[in-house]
Amino acid sequence: MQTDGAVKQSIEALTLLLAGSPYEIAARLRGLPVRTRADIAFGRLRRAGIKPERLLAIYLAIVALIEEDPGAVRTKEFRLVQVAKAAHRLASGYHRVWESEDWQGRRSRIELHKFARSSGQILRRIGAMIEERSELAAERHLAGVLAFKRKRYGPHPALPEAKPPCNKLEG
């Protein structure tokens, strides 16, 4: 399979972003600056085995959805936050389970589930970092992504060319 230069460049840039990001568990993020927390989010994605192709696919999908939906909010901030929310969900939590035994020999489980807070500034930063590395591929391939989507699933339901829903009560 041949890969377009823009796609290859985006994947390489996302690979470097993932590889160069520090890892820290979600329970230790409080008090860190936004930039550091955003970098750590990519370290968690790397540790979870998320491939750069998946991040590029998320970016392309969200840009295509916003482009096709006539009622979508078209601000840059909205796009960045949506991209970041989708990526952040892939590896946002820290989960730990301990087994312990009391003096009578009874076993119990202690569980810790901690999730990094996905607040506005961090999401904007994560989205901007992904967009910076993916926008060239989106510029070159958005039309193709939309054409494939329309061929496979049809036009967006809000578009005039979409077929009206079938009313089973009328016959």
What digits encode the pLDDT tens for the residues 75-114?
Answer: 999 999 999 999 988 887 777 788 988 888 899 998 887 7
User: What's at 55, amino acid-wise?
Assistant: L
In percent, the amount of the chain with pLDDT more than 90 equals: 53
Position 1 confidence tier, pLDDT thresholds 50, 70, 90: very low
Q: Report whether 160 contacts 71 (CB < 8 A).
A: no
Per-residue pLDDT, averaged over 35-64, amounts to 94
Helix axes 5-19, 52-68, angle to 10 degrees: 120
pLDDT band at 170 (very low <50, low <70, confident <90, very high): low
pLDDT band at residue 163, thresholds of 50, 70 and 90? low
HSE of 135, CA atoms in CB hemisphere, 13 A: 8
Instruction: Please indicate whether residue 17 or residue 158 has the higher confidence score (pLDDT).
Output: 17
Q: Residues 125-153: what's their mean pLDDT?
A: 94
**DSSP code, position 115:** E
pLDDT at residue 98 in the model: 86
- Indicate the pTM of the whole model: 0.80
Instruction: Say if CB 26 and CB 43 are below 8 A apart.
Output: no
What residue spans of 24-169 are helical by DSSP H?
A: 34-47, 52-68, 76-88, 120-153
